[in-house]
Amino acid sequence: MGELAKLTIAGARDALRKGEVTAVELTEACLSSIAEAGALNAFVHHTPEIARAQAAAADDRLKAGDAPAMCGIPLGVKDLFCTRGVPGQAASRILEGFAPEYESTVTAKLWEAGSVMLGKLNMDEFAMGSSNETSVYGAAVNPWKGTDGKALTPGGSSGGSAAAVAADLCLAATGTDTGGSIRQPAAFTGTTGLKPTYGRCSRWGIVAYASSLDQAGPMTKTVRDAAIMLGAMAGHDPKDSTSADLAVPDFEAMLTGDIRGQKIGIPREYRVEGMRDDLAKLWDEGAAMLRDAGAEIVDISLPHTKYALPAYYVIAPAEASSNLARYDGVRYGHRATLAQGDGITEMYEKTRAEGFGPEVRRRIMVGTYVLSAGFYDAYYNQARKVRTLIKRDFEQAFAAGIDAILAPATPTPAFALGGMKNADPVEMYLNDVFTVTLNLAGLPGIAVPVGLSGEGLPMGLQLIGRPWEEGALLNQAQVLETAAGFAAKPGKWW
């Protein structure tokens, strides 16, 4: 049974259409893999009844010959997506007991396409974190282990999604990416993670962190699967005014494998001081693979790269402080027990102190500070101007004929859970140094596993594409994937 859960979306789709396997069998295989994998702490709310009902309905559609590509494919859903009637709390205590009365647009589209919901996946609280350790459920655990046998982080914030896909608990999962939260966990687990262009997928029904940066995307075993799943997630939604009214192309059909003559930029500012030797080597090898496939490798400059991280840590907390003002103990979730004589202000203050974890409290307060009178121009407006310059860097590179940019995904492979316990918050923020730039610029990016580190852990590279050209980006990524031939899997210890 466990073997079926190892299928890719493309493999399962073909087997389902040929009648070699049923959606019910596929779903049962995933449910039993999940039942054995409690040690990974990836699935935090289980929905086997929903899964079985959806699988049976998918089998009916398959029999009737009315089956889109995602029909019958069992998925995990990041806890950030609202799914009607299923507990969802963005891994926060403040949403304890919350069962949304509505369905996010992205998950609604996946269910309409016939996909099967296995449950909700672990993440950092409100998607704020790079190691899954800020979760109220406790950290998700990476199925990969280092040579010293220590438990590793699957990354964050979509850590549960990455762990579940890497451990073959589901065929694929949804993630969201505000500063790297799809690509960093994908790189840490040897899986593929795509952050689409801002506006490609509707944000409606996804718990908001930083609205001008948040974007949902697929987390999969292969690039082809990312293309198939993105097709089902994307599209205009009148309920999200920032979702783009553009046609969704057939991304899978754009995987031609031909990148001859394309220009791939290598940004010199990403070669940061102190870069690990194995990472620098991997990056060079990745560039050589694309060159061998007929692409031209071009050195480029993105001069404002260094300022992306500080700009992000102004803009994201500012937006978070506004977005998270809604958690007030009135309409949903946790409310603190009040003392005699406490009024509404005490209710807000106690509820929010109890309900939010330390990292979320910290970001809300930093955001409050940078938006407060007297500092708005010095911090918030300055960061927004720098953001304009960061976007301009990319626009100039693309205008000079660059088709895509190749960069590392993360500065290191997965680190030990608890390993950053004594680090200050800024050290943890440095995890996002290669990923955060394109959230600020709204660009699509994909992390692809390319090799193993010195300690035998997966390492990924990142391709950054032109806006709205996910099809071309996926094609470039598949060329890299094929050339790298990354096939390593973690040994099963859970």
Partner 1 sequence: MSIDEGTAAKVAKLARIKVEPEELPHLAAEFNNILGFIEQLGEVDVDGVEPMVSVTPMRLKRRTDGVTDGGMQERILSNAPDAREGFFAVPKVVE
Q: Which is nearer to partner 1, 372 or 482 (CB)?
A: 372
Return the number of the residue (262 or 431) whose C-beta is nearest partner 1: 431
Catalytic residue selected from 78, 109, 221, 391:
78
Contact 126, 156 (CB under 8 A): no
Site for partner 1 in 113-172 (CB under 8 A): none
Subset of residues 39 to 58 that bind partner 1, contact rule: CB under 8 A: none
What are the angstrom distances between the C-alpha of 343 and each of 331, 339, 347? 17, 9, 6
Q: Is 344:360 a contact under the CB 8 Å cutoff?
A: no
342 lies in the binding site for partner 1 (CB under 8 A): yes
Out of 93, 276, 350, 489, the residue judged to bind partner 1 by CB under 8 A: 350
Decide: is 397 part of the binding site for partner 1 (CB under 8 A): no
Instruction: Tell me the H-state helices in 357-469.
Output: 358-371, 382-399, 425-429, 436-441
HSE value, Cβ hemisphere, 13 Å, CA-based, for 351 = 23
Cβ burial 80-105 (10 Å sphere, 16+ → b, else e): bbbbeebbbbbbbebbeebebeebbb
Output the six-digit token pair for 231.
Answer: 């097709």
The reply to whether 335 sits near partner 1 by the rule CB under 8 A is yes
* 317: amino acid identity, one letter: P
CB of 342 to partner 1, least distance (A): 6
Nearer to partner 1, 1 or 365 (CB): 365
Q: Find the binder of partner 1 among 383, 404, 446, 464 (CB under 8 A).
A: 383
Q: Are 132 and 159 in contact (CB under 8 A)?
A: yes
Based on the residue annotation, tell me whether 157 is a catalytic residue of this protein: yes
Question: Could you check whether the bond before residue 157 is cis, i.e. omega within 30 degrees of 0?
Answer: yes
Residue 155 φ/ψ region, left for φ over 0, alpha for ψ in the -120 to 50 degree band, beta for the rest: left
Looking at the Cβ atoms of 114 and 357, the one nearer to partner 1 is 357
Q: Which range touches partner 1 (CB under 8 A), out of 74-82, 139-147, 286-294, 423-431?
A: 423-431
Site string for partner 1, 188-227 (x = CB under 8 A): ---------xxx------------x---------------
Q: Report 94-123 residues binding partner 1 (CB under 8 A).
A: 97-101
Pattern of binders to partner 1 over 425-464, x per CB under 8 A?
A: xx--x----------xxx----------------------
> Which residue is catalytic, options 92, 115, 135, 181?
181
> What contacts 238, CB < 8 A, 6 or more positions away?
none
The token pair at 468 is 């709205």
Reading the block at residue 10, the tokens are: 């493309």
What strands, in cross-sheet order, belong to the sheet with 445-452? 43-46, 116-121, 74-78, 172-177, 215-220, 192-195, 445-452, 458-465, 404-408, 263-267, 296-300
**Using CB under 8 A, which residues numbered 269 to 308 contact partner 1?**
304, 306-307
Nearest CB to partner 1, comparing residues 220 and 243 = 243
Least Cβ distance, residue 319 to partner 1 (angstroms):
12
Instruction: Fill in the per-residue mask, 252 to 271: x = in contact with partner 1 (CB under 8 A), - = not in contact.
Output: --------------------
The Cα–Cα gap between 156 and 262 comes to 32
Q: According to the binding rule CB under 8 A, does residue 234 interact with partner 1? A: no
Site for partner 1 in 352-381 (CB under 8 A): 352-353, 356, 361-362, 364-366, 368-370, 372, 375, 378-379, 381
Based on CB atoms, which residue is closest to partner 1, 140 or 308?
308
Tokens representing 479? 């060329």
Q: Is 181 a catalytic residue?
A: yes
Q: Which residues contact 484 (CB under 8 A, 6 or more apart)?
A: 286, 289, 448, 449, 450, 451
Closest distance of CB 197 from partner 1, Å: 8
Residue (349 or 455) nearer to partner 1, CB: 349
Q: Of residues 269, 278, 328, 395, which one binds partner 1 by CB under 8 A?
A: 328
Residues known to be catalytic:
78, 157, 181
